[in-house]
Amino acid sequence: MPPTPGRPRSAEADRAVLGAALELLVEHGVEGTSIEKVAQRAGVTRATVYRRYPDKTRLLLAALLEGLRTPSDLPECDSVEEMLSMWAQGLGGPDAAGGRRLLRRLMTGLHDHPELHRAYREAGIARRERWIRSTLERARERGEFPPDADLAVVGEILTSAVTTHLLTRPDTCTVREVEDHLLAVLHHTCYRRTP
């Protein structure tokens, strides 16, 4: 018997839908992912997907935020090194390969889908950029960057280091290897750790 309107959502179906959307996104990109394919992969009806996400953009945005584990509140970091350590946790180790593949897919595919790109930028990227900037500003207040340091450029250098790692290093990298890479880049900026 089909579910009636107003029936509580199934947490299992929620997980299956987002999991299927993520898998298809990694495997086939935005263009190769559809509501119908997500429903088939998740083992649910298209109506089940549409009840949760009225269009593909909202479905993929939810899948991206879940897949990249974008928390609603990013924790305040006590140092730039702590921030980079958090990045390394997400990019290294045995559980990170899927996230790394997803990030590479986004690098090459999101710009072809402006609506999804805009939604993801507002929901995830812009918040993360503010968090990075806040961490760098606190470091400058402690004297770890010169007063005239362009923190926007420093932030771009660090995020570019992540991109370089994703594109040039194997997905089997350890957390320590990722962290060493990011710290090496940091220490070639104008950053100077205070004693």
- pLDDT at position 5 over 50: no
Q: Provide the pLDDT confidence category of residue 111 given band limits of 50, 70 and 90.
A: confident
Q: Output the pTM of the full model.
A: 0.77
CA distance 56 to 33: 8
What is the per-residue pLDDT for 8?
44
What is the per-residue pLDDT for 195?
67
pLDDT, greater one: 174 or 1: 174
Which residue from 176, 178, 158 is spatially nearest to 80, judged by alpha carbons?
158
H-state helical runs in the chain: 11-28, 35-42, 46-52, 56-67, 80-91, 97-109, 114-120, 126-141, 151-168, 175-186
Q: Which two tokens stand for residue 140?
A: 């400058």
What is the per-residue pLDDT for 71?
57
Domain 69-186 has CATH 1.10.357.10: yes
Q: Which two tokens stand for residue 171?
A: 């997905």
- pLDDT at position 2 over 70: no
What is the per-residue pLDDT for 98?
83
Residue ranges of domains in the chain: 11-66, 69-186
Domain 11-66 has CATH 1.10.10.60: yes
Work out the burial of residue 97: count CB atoms within 10 Å of its CB; fewer than 13 is exposed, 13-18 middle, 19 or more buried.
middle
pLDDT, one tens digit per residue, over 47-106 is 999 999 999 989 988 888 887 766 556 788 999 999 999 999 989 988 888 888 888 888
Write down how long the chain is: 195
Within 10 Å of residue 100's Cβ, how many Cβ atoms?
A: 22
CA distance 178 to 176: 5
What is the per-residue pLDDT for 3?
45
- pLDDT at position 27 over 60: yes
pLDDT, greater one: 172 or 65: 172
Find the mean pLDDT for residues 145-152.
Answer: 96
CA distance 165 to 147: 29
Share of residues in the chain with pLDDT > 70 (%): 92
CA distance 65 to 37: 20
Find the mean pLDDT for residues 118-133.
Answer: 86
What is the per-residue pLDDT for 121?
83
Q: Which two tokens stand for residue 146?
A: 């010169």
Find the mean pLDDT for residues 15-43.
Answer: 92
CA distance 170 to 100: 10
What is the per-residue pLDDT for 155?
96
Which residue from 39, 48, 57 is spatially nearest to 8, judged by alpha carbons?
48
